[in-house]
Every structure is written in structure tokens, then in C-alpha cells.
Amino acid sequence: MKKLLFLLSITFYSTLIFSQEIPSKLTQKTFFKMDFLSVKMPFNEALNSQEANMGFTGIHYNFNLNDWSYAGIGMYGSVSGIRGGFFTLGVNAGLKKYFTKQLFVDTGFHYGGGGGAGAPDGGGAFILPHFNVGYQFSKFSLTTGYSYVNFFDKGKIKNHQANVSLQIPLSFDYANFDKAETKFIPDNNIKNSSWYQPSKKISLMLHLNNLSPEGKSKDSYGETLKGKTIRLAGFELNSYLNKNTFVFIKADGAYDGIPAGYMDIFLGAGYQLSFNKNKTNILGKFGIGAGGGGYVDTQGGFLMYPDISIEQKISNNIFLSINKGYLLKPNSNFIAQTLGFGLKYYVNQSGLISNNSNSFSKAKFKGFETIIGQDIYFDAKRKENPTENLHQISMQLNFYINKHFYLAGLTSFANFGNAGAYAEGIVGGGIITSILNKKLQLFTQILVGAAGGGNISTGEGLIIKPSIGSTYLLSDKIGLRTSIGKVKARGGSLNSLSLNFGVSYRLSFLTSK
């Protein structure tokens, strides 16, 4: 009798799994954009001469709202001139109109905040509208046209200039956020599902990096940096084009070893060699990008990043990584050896077919959330200037471990409050409640990481930022988010009440193994 009951229970449980309705697949069209403009800088009174133009390059990720409009987020950084370490964050919106299959116009604007490297950026707030003409090739498009940049909050950077850009169309598949944590075991009938397609492998790594400057490397005062160790914290996201080749984006900020304010960001590609039954990987990478700040003299800011790393599987899809490489300018005026350690998480997403054309044995939808917000730090202490409120534009990404716990990463840049060079790169986690009264969720989170610049008193850059808040849901995707908390610097005087208002965009991705 007991055996019969056991068999019936197993049969009933299996029936529930295999008969479970698989969430519908939705597709969002997007495009990646890189643009460049040469910004005429104001007369440099300290040098008593006309300053060289700042080469301003941006990376953007935009969502197609329909056939003719888009919106998204973007970052800019200096890559030429004398303002290495000048970075911004902002939001994009625009219109695209095709007149033929190839010719189109693209007009829009970017609003954001940031600055750095001693530039006359004021509070950091700026606008950058553009009007471009573009040509569509088979897999990408090129545009050129007019743009205007204005750091309007007491900044002096204001100019009209031409711009050029590269746009690459992309897309991703997703399900509604309320399907997060839905799981199923693929069976023979899964081939009829729209999710029966090749998966895409991605990885996310949180890491600590040490920079050891050598050679001609010096600070902004002309003193050598040789012998110092600059400690960085950051993340790296890899997206695989096939089994071995990947593209990556990497960003870091300094938290120890130099005055706060250094950061860098890189785009690049790499190749992965796996052995030991895929438990051990060796990766070679090469990236180009921008870096500077914290009185590190990187001239215009353009940097290269060759690197080799080895990683070992420690649990499920989690690997321990060790990397060794270089961070350098092509002219070798700044060069540093890099040594880093990180935890990397691999995931196969958006499909049920593996690289060897077999079906995965398990699948689950995982929640993901993007928040674009505006922060206020009340009475933010300065190193020299009078105390006043600090305002920032921020972007936070939340990856849900389950329905109530998430890991978070946040970056923010000052846009008002006479601190245009101030920026943050922090990580942590949070807890969120179930939906209350069909509309409201409460959460608490704690983030820690690197921050500095803008004369804000953050010591060598390490801050901690706990908060509590709520999200009011307008739909399954969109919510209004508010929070209140504290931000405190280790080794600095910053110890302020913080307030955040933002918009949340939520969905879920299929993950398989």
C-alpha cells in the first residue's frame, strides 16, 4: 500500500511539472550605439592658453518603443585632450524616420550628469541633443550630423559640433516579471515551445583589482605613481558569440590607495579555452576604453587593457577567477600591471538548446530590474567647499535570486550641487516583500563600494549606503520607486541622509542548465 501511494505521489507531481504552462515568449527590439564628438573646451585660465578639444565618446543601449521612437541609457567618457577621468551617465530619447530602406534621419537628446578631471563642469548637469542622417547596412548603420553639448548648471563647457555614430541592432527574449521563479523540466513536447531555440551564454563577475603603476606613470602634480597600489572594485559582463568567443564590458572604481575619484570602463573581446571537463577555463581578453580621475594622469583618458585569467569551478555555475594583465596608454605615459580576483556566475539564457544541440534538463525564469533615478544627499560634506545638498542621476540593476532576495549594482553621477566630478560604483543586496494590495512592495537594501570626486569628502573612496523604500506598481513592468537611507564614507566626512526617486522596469529571463 505504501509503495502504491508513493508511486501515485510521484506520478501526480510529474504531471504537475509537465502540464505546467510555460510563460509566453516576448521579444524586445533594441540597439547598441557608440558615438564620438570633439568638444571645444573653454579658455584654460590655469594654463593661460586655449585648451585642446576633448574627445567625447559614448556607449548607449536603447529600446525601440515602436517603429519610429526609442529611449534608453548611455555613458560618455573622455578619450583625448587633457581631461582623462571625465565621465557622465544619462538617459536617451529619440526619433528615427526611414525615407528608404537605407536612408534615415535620427534626432533626439541625451540628458545626464557627470564630469571630473578638473574640468569646468559646474554641478554636472548637461544636455546633448543631436540631428543626424544615417545609412543602414545589412547588420549595422552609420550616422553623422549636428550636436550641441551644454553643462548648464554653472558649467563652462558649451559648444556646437559634428558627431558620428555606429548603431548595431539587437534584441532579447523575455517573459513578464510575474513569471519569475517559474520552473519546469523540458520533455519531448518542449520542441513545440517558442523557447525551443539555442541559448545564449553570459557571465557576470564581481571583482577586486589592484593596479601597480610603473614606468612614466605620474599623478596630476607630476609626482611618480611607481610603487603605489591602487585598489579597485567593479564588475565584468561577458556575452558569448559562440562557444569560445565573447565580447565584454568592464567597469571599476578606486576605493583605496589614492585620493577618491579614479574610475575606468572598457569594451572588448576575448577567447575562452575550457578543459578539465569544463571545470577550468583560461581566458585571453583585450579591451579599449577610458579611465582617469583621483589625480591619476591619464592625459586624454584613452586606455588599452590586455589581460589573461584562469578560473576554477567551485559550485554549480560559480567560478573563482584570477587575472593578470596591463592597463596602459599607447604612448606608455601611463602603464600599470593589474592583478585581480573575482567571483563569476555563468548562465545560459533565452533558450532550451545547449551548445552541443541537446536540450537542457532544467529551466527557470529569473527576475531582473532596472531603476533609473534621482538621488539627493542632504548636507553632503566637502573637503574644502561649503556644505550643500548633492544631487545625482543613478542607474541600479537588480538580479533576483528568488522572489524576495536580489543582488544589486548601482552607478551614479552628480548633476546638481557644485560637484560635477562626483560618481559612485557600489554593489550589494536587498530584500523585497510580496505585492501588497496588488500595487505596493516594500524593500530594504545595503550597498557598498567606491565613490569620489567633486570635492566630496569620501576619504580614499569606500562608502556604505543602507536604505529602505517602496515600489508602487503601475503595471507588471513599470513601477515608481522611492527610498530613504544614509550614505557614509570610511575615512571621510560624508555622512548624509539620502533620498531617491526613480522609475523601475522589470521583466524575467529564461535560464537553463
Using alpha carbons only, how large is the chain's radius of gyration in Å? 24
Q: Which residue has the cell 520552473?
A: 183
Measured CA angle at 202 (ends 199, 208), to 5 deg: 165
Quick one: which of 156, 191, 142, 188 has its CA closest to 33? 142
Please report, for residues 50, 195, 214, 278, the alpha-carbon distance to residue 135 in angstroms, rounded to integers and kept in the order given: 36, 33, 45, 43
Which residues lie closer than 8 Å to 202 by C-beta, 6 or more apart? 237, 238, 239, 240, 346, 347, 349
Classify residue 501 by its DSSP letter: E
- The DSSP string of 447-485 is EEEEEE-TTB--TTSEEEEEEEEEEEESSSSEEEEEEEE
Q: How many residues in total does the chain contain?
A: 513
Distance CA 149, CA 87 (A): 14
Distance CA 25, CA 347 (A): 18
**With 0-12 CB in 10 A as exposed, 13-18 as middle and 19+ as buried, what is 117?**
buried
Q: pLDDT (tens digit, 0 to 9) for every residue of the chain, 513 residues total?
A: 444 444 444 444 444 444 457 888 999 999 999 999 999 999 988 778 899 999 999 999 999 999 999 999 999 999 999 999 999 999 999 999 999 999 999 999 999 999 999 999 999 999 999 999 999 999 999 999 999 999 999 999 999 999 999 999 999 999 999 999 998 887 767 777 889 899 999 999 999 999 999 999 999 888 999 999 999 999 999 999 998 999 999 999 998 888 888 999 999 999 999 999 889 999 999 999 999 998 899 999 999 999 999 999 998 889 999 999 999 999 989 999 999 999 999 999 998 888 777 778 889 999 999 999 999 999 999 998 899 999 999 999 999 999 999 999 999 999 999 999 999 999 999 999 999 998 999 999 999 999 999 999 999 899 999 999 999 999 999 999 999 999 999 989 999 999 999 999 999 999 988
pTM of the model: 0.92
Total H helices, total E strands in the chain: 1, 27
Distance CA 478, CA 420 (A): 30
C-alpha cell at position 97:
524616420
**With 0-12 CB in 10 A as exposed, 13-18 as middle and 19+ as buried, what is 184?**
buried
Distance CA 336, CA 333 (A): 10
Tell me if residue 78 falls in helix, strand or coil.
strand
Contact call for residues 423 and 251 (beta carbons, < 8 A): no
Contact call for residues 250 and 287 (beta carbons, < 8 A): yes
Contact call for residues 186 and 192 (beta carbons, < 8 A): no
